[in-house]
Structure 1
Amino acid sequence: MKLKQLESLLGSLQQFSNPKIELEQYPTGPHIASRMLYTAENSFEDVNSKVVADFGCGCGTLGLAAGLLGAESIIGLDIDAESLEIAYENADELELDMDYIQCDINSLNWRGQIVETVVMNPPFGTRRKGADMNFLSLAMKVASQAVYSLHKTTTREHVKRAALRDYNARSAEVICELRYDVPQLYIFHKKKEVDIAVDLWRFVPQRTQERSL
C-alpha cells in the first residue's frame, strides 16, 4: 500500500466524540499515523506478518494502520470505554479484525500472546507528569522486536537517557521529527490549532527473541 493511500484511509476514521482532558485525549492525525507505520514497515519490516499492540489506542488509528499494512494480528489497549467503541466502529469500517482490551496501561500485567511490535502515541505528561515514560517503560517490557512512540522534541535527551539507562533498550533512535497538529478541543485552548514538534522514536529491546510477561 502506498503512503498516500494509507493516509487517505486513516483520514476517514472517526475520532473522539467526547475527549477527556484528564486522559490527554488528542486524535492521532492521519499524516503522522501513516508515516509512523509506513516507516516501521518499509524501513524496518516491523509490521507485516507481526503481532502489533497499540498502547493507549484511543480510536484505534495506529493499530488499524498496522492492520492495513498487513499485521498478522492487532491488539488495542485503552482505559476509556467510549474510545474503544469508536475504535470498534473504525475497524468495522475498514473491514479489519482488531482485538481490544479495556485496561489501565499503568497496572497492566501482560499474560497474552507474544507481541513483536508496540506502537503508541502516549500522553505527553502535561496533566500527569511522567505518564509518557510510564507507557514507554511498559512497552519495552512487552515488545520483543521494537517500540515506536511519539514524544515531544523538547524531551529528547530525557527520553533517550531513560530508555538506555532505565528501560534496557539496546538502541533508541529518533527516526524523524514531525509536526503534531493539536486542534482546539478543550475550553482552555485559545487558538484554533497549535503545532507541536514531536519525535518519532524507534526503540529496540536488549533481547529481541520471543517472550511474554
Structure 2
Amino acid sequence: MKLKQLESLLGDVQQFSDPKVRWVAFPSISLVAASASSTDALVSLWQAENTFEDVAGKVVADFGCGCGTLGIASALLGAEHTFGIDIDSESLEVASVNAEDMEIGGRKTCHTVFLVLVMHNNLMFIVYQVATQAVYSLHKTSTREHVKRTALQSFRARSAEVLCELRFDVPQMYKFHKKKEVDVAVDLWRFVPSRE
C-alpha cells in the first residue's frame, strides 16, 4: 500500500470527543498519525513495514491505542492480528467502531481486537517479554538518554534507535492547561528485544 493511500484511508478515523484527564488521554498518537501536518509517525509505521518488515504477517499490539488509529493502520498494512489495548473503555468503543467502519474486523487475514489494559508499573517490561521482533514507542525527546539507557540496561534490548523526532501541537484540553497550545517534541523509538 502506498503511503498517500494509507493517509487518505485514516483521514476519516474518529478521534477523542471527550478525553479523560484521569487517564491523561491525549489524542497525541492520533494527531501524530493522522494530522496532515504531523504524518511522521504514520510514515514511520509505513517504514517499519517497508524497511524492517515489522508489520505484514505479524502480530501487532498497540498499548495505549486510544481510538485505534495506529492499530488500524497496522491492519491496513497487512498485520495478521492487531490488538489495541487501552485503559479507557470509551476509547476502546470508538476504536471498535473505527475498525468496523474501516471494515477491518471482517478481513479473513486480520483479526482486530481491542482490550482493556490494567495499568501496571512494569508495563514496558511486559511489552519486552512478549515482543519477538520489535517494539515501537513514543517518548518525549527530553527523556531520550534515560529511555535509551533504560532500554539497553534494564530491559536488555539488543538495540534502541530513534527513528524520527516528531513535533506536534497539543491543544488546551483540560482546565489545568495554562496555554492555548503547547509544542511537544516526541521521539519515535524502535527497540529490538534480546532473546537470551
Q: 1:44-83 to 2 correspondence within 5 Å? A: 44-83=52-91
Q: Secondary structure at the match of 2:114?
A: strand
- Contact 1:173–1:201 under 8 Å retained in 2: yes
Corresponding letter in the other structure for 1:68: L
Q: Measure, in 1, the Cα distance between the counterparts of 2:97 and 2:40.
A: 21
CA distance in 2, matches of 1:32, 1:16: 20
Task: Give structure 2 stretches of 5+ with no counterpart.
Answer: 106-111
Give the residue type in structure 2 aligned to 1:153: T
Question: Which residue of 2 is the match for residue 151 of structure 1?
Answer: 139
Paired residues in the alignment total 182
Is the 1:33–1:61 Cα contact (8 Å) retained in structure 2?
no
Q: Which runs of 4+ in 1 moved over 3 A?
A: none
Rounded Cα–Cα distance in structure 1 between residues aligned with 2:11 and 2:26:
15
TM-score w.r.t. length of structure 2: 0.86
Cross-structure match for 1:5: 5
**Residues 77 and 100 of structure 1 are in contact (CA less than 8 Å); yes or no, is this contact kept in structure 2?**
yes
Q: Whole-Å Cα distance in 1 between the matches of residues 115 and 19 of structure 2?
A: 19
Root-mean-square deviation (CA), in Å?
A: 1.6
Aligned match for 1:100, one of 111, 114, 122: 114
Is 1:200 the equivalent of 2:167?
Answer: no
Q: TM (normalized to structure 1)? A: 0.80
Give the AA of the match of 1:2.
K
Gaps of at least 5 residues in structure 1 are 107-130, 209-213
Residues 43-192 of structure 1 mapped to structure 2, 5 A cutoff: 43-97=51-105, 98-106=112-120, 134-192=122-180
Query: What is the identity, as a one-letter code, of the residue corresponding to 1:22?
Result: R
Larger mean CA deviation between 181-190 and 38-47 belongs to 181-190
Given that residues 40 and 164 in structure 2 are in contact (C-alpha distance below 8 angstroms), is that contact kept between their aligned partners in structure 1? Answer: no
